[in-house]
Amino acid sequence: MSVADEVKARLDIVDVIAGYASLQKAGRNFKALCPFHNERTPSFVVFPETQTWRCFGACGEGGDVFSFVMKAEGWDFVETLRELAQRAGVELQPYSPEQAERQAENERLFGLLHEAAHFFFEVLHSDEAHVAQDYVNRRGLDRQTVETFVLGYAPNDWQQALHHLLMLGYTQDEIVEAGVAARNDAGRVYDRFRHRLMIPIRDSRGRTIGFGARALDPEERAKYLNSPQGPLFDKSRILFGLDTARRAIRESETAVIVEGYMDVMQAHQAGFLNVVAQMGTALTETQLRQLDRYASRLVLALDPDVAGINATMRGLNVARQTLDDDQSVTFDARGMMRYTGMLDMDIRVATLPDGQDPDDLIREDPDAWGRLIERAIPVANYVIQQGTAHLSPDASYHEREAAARLLLPILTATESDLQRNGNIQTLARQVRIDERTLIQWTQRRQAAQTRALPSMRDQRRLAGRTAQVAPPAVGGPPGQSDLREAFCLRLLLEQPKRLFAANRKFRELRADDIVLDQVLAPLCAQDFSRPDFQAIFRAIEESLYQDDLDPLDYLHDHLQPELVSVIDDLQITVLEAFRQELPGVLATELESILRDQARVNTLRQPDTELFIQDALALRQSRLERESHELYFLQQDASDLTDQRYHVTVRANALARKVINKALQQMKSFARNS
């Protein structure tokens, strides 16, 4: 039994979820209003017998106690495991000496930064902070906002904060590492922040990890000074205000991204609690992934200046160079388009009136801000607007063609065929060029790009490919579900981009059928039953949306040691696990079968096809589990007029039929090819 299984065995999911939702007994199960979206009729069900949960409303999600807490708290798997293990009284595998030392150091830094924030907060309320107090008043921030965001003041002194932290027992090296102090070339340590309004930056759990410091001296060259990159502070992974915005984002299913600290604080003060700020000039993959945990709709509230419009449209002038590299994932307009399809996220843009930022607009007219966000336009429409704004009504065909060719690679960068076709139709109307012509240009460009792509065969040969293993049979004996999930992850680890092929198959099968829209959605973590496998799958997804590291290197760099060891086991022991599942005679023949398979390479089904079959089988198994739960729900339902369960049962049955037919066709094709 794994540690996660032991934790689940000791905890009752009903007790855990009762801390987040008001559960009411309904037959042998429990019902509640879903804690993840607004609703009036309970659609959230907890199944004590299977220790699972499911929302039959807008969310359409479900899982075990781990998936619930991860979604409710926004934690990753390891954070959730530690919290639930402590609650269950399960002792986790001890850290290595190096890990334990690093963990202890980080805990010291968290404590140090908490004390620093408290120190600056106290100084803000002293007589020496009158300039900072005046600034806060001029910006219209009330006492509640100051306390919520723990605003403070860094004295106009070289060592006051340093001495305070030294008196609390922290060392100079720790204070420098935390970014509160700096050390010059001569070795002298001094306060990094002086005569500035201090804005604590916190992680999603509310722990202070750094500071944003606003200059109060008009002669100061740097208007804002942030903490340096360090063990805790990484601006590419942080969204300012997320700790206080999580609940509102989840409830509204919408996250609004602005550019500045003041924008966030003013929005929250006015009651717009779903607003966060990016830390830097561009959104990163990690930041978007964090928001994807809570929101299905993302609104970028951009200033109507170079820092706003050009931030989204940057790269257009060099689009041909940038977009020819299919491996790159940038967060300019094309990057946003790709995420709209890949994450199934509705990404929109709200452009503010000239000369105003969110802080100004909200203070002047809060209702206008609300209307602005409601009227945000899809990012594709925004790109078309900006990319064709220079065209006059009587622009020549040559000018319109040039604009269209520049925009097409961006507008077709989504994984969604439906979105891609809609974008082309919109562009065709805007530039007054036949839609079929635009499609031909796109196809020719993609064909040329495909011919130019380097082969991955040599890279795989150098990396060393592991022995091929046939997947376990669909509907095999109990105990093979873990093996199938492991096999699926094994193939993904070998080539993560196989996920895109599987998701294209799911899109093909649902064929824009609204009944199948949810049940045949892209492969996701919920298709895996083990929480550690779910966490690894999410990390594999994340690895596909960055280009700094090879996906496997990304996993080893970004996953906690507990999960890295699971990955290592997957790559090494899946063959042995499969061998142990076979009857004795077949087990002895396995090696010769594999040798024959290697010799007759043309008879071996391509790994990507195997992965697609495995992904379909995983979804089939998940739908079977959910149908089992629905059977009991229908038995216990007191209101026979409630059609939600019936609709879900029909959708599940139809999806299983579609999947089964697809699997039969794929296997028949493989046998005959």
- DSSP string for residues in 254-272: EEEEES-HHHHHHHHHTT-
Looking at per-residue pLDDT, the higher value among 177 and 343 belongs to 177
Q: In this model, does residue 618 exceed pLDDT 80? A: yes
Looking at per-residue pLDDT, the higher value among 322 and 667 belongs to 667
Report the pLDDT averaged over residues 307-333: 40
pLDDT band of residue 319 (cuts 50, 70, 90) is very low
Give the C-alpha separation, 586 to 198, whole Å: 69
Give the least confident one: 37-51, 73-87, 484-498, 596-610.
596-610
Looking at per-residue pLDDT, the higher value among 463 and 74 belongs to 74
Report the pLDDT averaged over residues 269-294: 83
Q: In this model, does residue 487 exceed pLDDT 70? A: yes
Q: What is the pLDDT of residue 631?
A: 67
Nearest one of 534, 538, 533, 572 to 554, comparing CA atoms: 538
Q: Answer yes or no: are the C-beta atoms of 46 and 24 closer than 8 Å.
A: no
Give the least confident one: 175-184, 279-288, 398-407, 609-618.
279-288
Total residue count of the chain as it appears in this document: 673
Q: What is the pLDDT of residue 651?
A: 86
Q: Answer yes or no: are the C-beta atoms of 358 and 277 closer than 8 Å.
A: no
CB burial of 383-400 (b: ≥16 within 10 Å; e: otherwise) equals bbebbbeebeeebeeeeb
Q: What is the pLDDT of residue 71?
A: 86
Give the C-alpha separation, 271 to 252, whole Å: 13
Give the least confident one: 8-17, 396-405, 442-451.
442-451
Q: What is the pLDDT of residue 68?
A: 92
Give the C-alpha separation, 629 to 635, whole Å: 10
Q: What is the pLDDT of residue 258?
A: 93
pLDDT band of residue 327 (cuts 50, 70, 90) is very low
Residue 484 tokens read as: 């199938």
Residue 135 φ then ψ, to 5°? -65, -45
Q: Answer yes or no: are the C-beta atoms of 241 and 266 closer than 8 Å.
A: no
Q: In this model, does residue 33 exceed pLDDT 90? A: yes
Phi-psi region of 503 (alpha: psi -120 to 50; beta: other; left: phi over 0): alpha
Q: What is the pLDDT of residue 606?
A: 65
Q: What is the pLDDT of residue 329?
A: 36
Alpha carbons within 13 A on the beta-carbon side of 203: 15
Give the C-alpha separation, 425 to 455, whole Å: 33
Report the pLDDT averaged over residues 72-82: 83
- The runs of H, that is alpha helices, within 356-515 are 358-364, 366-374, 379-388, 397-411, 417-431, 435-452, 457-463, 480-494, 498-510
Q: What is the pLDDT of residues 373-387, one digit of tens each?
A: 999 998 888 888 888
Q: What percent of the chain has pLDDT over 70?
A: 78
Alpha carbons within 13 A on the beta-carbon side of 587: 10
Give the least confident one: 76-90, 240-254, 333-347, 607-621.
333-347
Residue 486 tokens read as: 């492991």
Q: In this model, does residue 321 exceed pLDDT 50? A: no
**Sequence-ordered list of residues with C-beta below 8 angstroms from that of 283, at least 6 positions apart, any chain:** 257, 300, 331
Q: What is the pLDDT of residue 475?
A: 36
Q: Answer yes or no: are the C-beta atoms of 404 and 427 closer than 8 Å.
A: yes
Looking at per-residue pLDDT, the higher value among 310 and 478 belongs to 310
Give the least confident one: 126-140, 259-273, 381-395, 636-650.
636-650
Q: What is the pLDDT of residue 637?
A: 58
Q: In this model, does residue 279 exceed pLDDT 90? A: no
Q: In this model, does residue 458 exceed pLDDT 60? A: no
Q: What letter would DSSP give residue 93?
A: P
Q: What is the pLDDT of residues 282-303, one digit of tens each?
A: 677 778 878 877 888 999 886 6
| Assessment of whether the complete model's pTM goes beyond 0.85 | no
**Sequence-ordered list of residues with C-beta below 8 angstroms from that of 70, at least 6 positions apart, any chain:** 76, 77, 80, 293
Report the pLDDT averaged over residues 170-198: 96
Q: In this model, does residue 605 exceed pLDDT 70? A: no
Give the least confident one: 296-300, 409-413, 557-561, 637-641.
637-641
Looking at per-residue pLDDT, the higher value among 97 and 432 belongs to 432
Report the pLDDT averaged over residues 409-428: 80
Q: Answer yes or no: are the C-beta atoms of 104 and 231 closer than 8 Å.
A: no
Q: What is the pLDDT of residue 584?
A: 57
pLDDT band of residue 666 (cuts 50, 70, 90) is confident
Burial of 557 (0-12, 13-18, 19+ CB in 10 A): exposed
The Cα angle at residue 489 between residues 523 and 3, in degrees rounded to 5 = 105
CB burial of 194-217 (b: ≥16 within 10 Å; e: otherwise) equals bbbbbbbbbbbeebbbbbbbbbbe
Give the least confident one: 63-72, 255-264, 294-303.
294-303
The enclosing H or E element of 350 equals strand 346-351
Q: In this model, does residue 459 exceed pLDDT 70? A: no
DSSP-based three-state secondary structure for 69: helix
Give the C-alpha separation, 34 to 41, whole Å: 9
Within its chain, how far is the Cα of 440 from the centroid?
Answer: 34
Q: Answer yes or no: are the C-beta atoms of 489 and 570 closer than 8 Å.
A: yes
Sheet holding 29-32, edge to edge: 24-26, 29-32, 44-47, 52-55, 62-63
Residue 68 φ then ψ, to 5°? -65, -50
Q: In this model, does residue 189 exceed pLDDT 90? A: yes
Give the C-alpha separation, 55 to 17, whole Å: 13
pLDDT band of residue 547 (cuts 50, 70, 90) is low
Nearest one of 217, 198, 39 to 115, comparing CA atoms: 198
Report the pLDDT averaged over residues 33-47: 88
Give the C-alpha separation, 376 to 380, whole Å: 12
Report the pLDDT averaged over residues 45-63: 87
Q: In this model, does residue 630 exceed pLDDT 90? A: no
Q: What is the pLDDT of residue 449?
A: 57
Report the pLDDT averaged over residues 167-173: 96
Q: In this model, does residue 18 exceed pLDDT 80? A: yes
Q: What is the pLDDT of residue 326?
A: 36
Q: Answer yes or no: are the C-beta atoms of 558 and 539 closer than 8 Å.
A: yes
Nearest one of 412, 370, 385, 648 to 519, comparing CA atoms: 648
Q: What is the pLDDT of residue 226?
A: 94
Give the least confident one: 216-225, 558-567, 650-659.
558-567
* DSSP structure string for 184-247: -TT--EEES--SEEEEEEE-TTS-EEEEEEEE-STT-S-SEEEPPS-SS--GGG-EETHHHHHH
Residue 427 tokens read as: 């562009």
Q: In this model, does residue 468 exceed pLDDT 60? A: no
Kindly list the structural domains of the chain, giving each domain's residue range(s) and its CATH number in brackets, ordered by start.
3-88 (3.90.580.10), 109-233 (3.90.980.10), 242-450 (3.40.1360.10), 476-672 (no CATH)
Q: What is the pLDDT of residue 344?
A: 59
Report the pLDDT averaged over residues 658-668: 88
pLDDT band of residue 331 (cuts 50, 70, 90) is very low
